[in-house]
Amino acid sequence: MKAAIITIGDEILIGQIVDTNSAFIAKSLDRIGIEIMEMISISDDKKHILHTFTQLQNKVDIVIVTGGLGPTKDDVTKKTFCEYFNDELVVNAEVLAHVTQLIEGYFKRPITQMNKDQALVPSACTVLHNEVGTAPGMWMKKENTVFISLPGVPYEMKYLVEEEIIPKIVHEYKRPYIIHKTILTYGQGESLVAERIENWENNLPDFIKLAYLPNPGRVRLRLTARGTDKEELEKAIEENVKSLDAIIHDIIVGYEENETIETVIGKLLLKHNKTISTAESCTGGRIASLLSAVPGSSGYFKGSVVSYATEVKANVLGISQDVIDQFSVVSAEVASAMALNVKSLLKTDYAIATTGNAGPSKGDSDAEIGTVFIALATPNGIITEEFNFGQPREKVIDRATIKSLEILQKEILKIV
């Protein structure tokens, strides 16, 4: 089965908001074996919407549309559906009762005509009940293509996808299986990883495809298998992952989308009953943000000192002004002192510290722009390394953050 996703809204096209709906819908459809052929963002214009519908008609099995279901005049999706399907809007009694209960019962205010108009739907559509909002979803079929309209509000869209659309598709359609396995690697670039696994990649079965998904300091390797025998696909994926691990075991840190390096680190720290803190200058709290975003991180992450200004390094972390004057704030000595002092301050087993010149100007140090010192205080001592991550600024911060986590992960793995 093939699908297309359409997001409707001028606010997306001018960059006022970021389209996150398409990614969620795509992942949800992929999990049940539906292949996404297109993602399109279009304006709130009836002619443009009709043209897009016509272009997709019979080319895909499912078209999912988000946006344009609000009560205001600029929301034109329902009227456009009526024109495309040669239908008319009628009041749906169940939707009207739900909207009335939501407005008068929950919001405690009289329902307006604009609110009531949310209950207007094409007469021939299958209504998808929206428990968490006033705009219902709509399911309509023309020839070989099903068109599904959803509200653009993310939490309403997610509810309808999970509770209405996915169960309905699973019930009504026989689908192939699509199995993914994502391997997370850190420490080597895409080209180097590709060279190391070239022979392995060339010997993959025809029904398994490999995709490289590079980010600063890391590369995700996604294996995708398609077919009708789920057990055969899963077995083939696992066998090939096992052979891949034998080749690049040194840079593999986890699997699947949720197994980020910070998740892996969290599991290791919990397993060994160890704690971590950070003292960050050039990374501005980015490492702490990643560590604390993992569910359950309160069991090992104690806190952070974002010592962006030199006086914070001196007054909060207690770094000697003599050390700062002698070596500058961007130095191995200051990075080491930051890590050791925050480890002592927050009483943790490990502590990461970063200090550097991310650019575009040098700040309080004459060190070359792109220079970063990363220090890791461990139960056995201090490790400090110097890097130059080049430019631009965001690249420096990203690479320093990922490299810090990589150093930490490798050190924790040394625990017997």
- Each residue's pLDDT tens digit, 3-53: 999 999 888 888 888 899 999 999 999 989 899 999 999 998 899 999 999
Name residue 212's beta-bridge partners: 221
| pLDDT value of position 416 | 58
Mean pLDDT along residues 197-202: 96
pLDDT band at 390 (very low <50, low <70, confident <90, very high): confident
- Fold matches, 2-172 and 177-255: no
- 129/111 Cα distance (integer angstroms): 19
**Residue 371 backbone class (left: φ over 0; alpha: ψ -120 to 50; beta: rest):** beta
Which residue is listed with tokens 């090992």? 300
Name residue 218's beta-bridge partners: 186, 215
Contacts of 283 (CB under 8 A, 6+ apart): 354, 397, 400, 401, 404
On the question of pLDDT at 196 being above 70, the answer is: yes
The pTM for the full model equals 0.65
pLDDT band at 359 (very low <50, low <70, confident <90, very high): confident
- The tens digit of pLDDT for each residue in 66-97 reads 998 877 666 788 999 999 999 999 999 999 99
Q: Which of 353, 334, 331 is nearest to 280 (CA)?
A: 353
Domain boundary assignment for the chain:
2-172, 177-255, 261-412
- The tens digit of pLDDT for each residue in 153-193 reads 999 999 999 999 999 999 999 888 888 899 988 888 899 99
- 416/414 Cα distance (integer angstroms): 6
Q: For domain 177-255, give the CATH number.
A: 3.30.70.2860
Question: Can you name the CATH fold of 261-412?
Answer: Maf protein (3.90.950)
Q: For domain 2-172, give the CATH number.
A: 3.40.980.10
- 414/102 Cα distance (integer angstroms): 56
| pLDDT value of position 364 | 65
Q: What is the dihedral of CA 124, 130, 133, 134, to 10 degrees?
A: 20
| pLDDT value of position 93 | 95
Contacts of 15 (CB under 8 A, 6+ apart): none
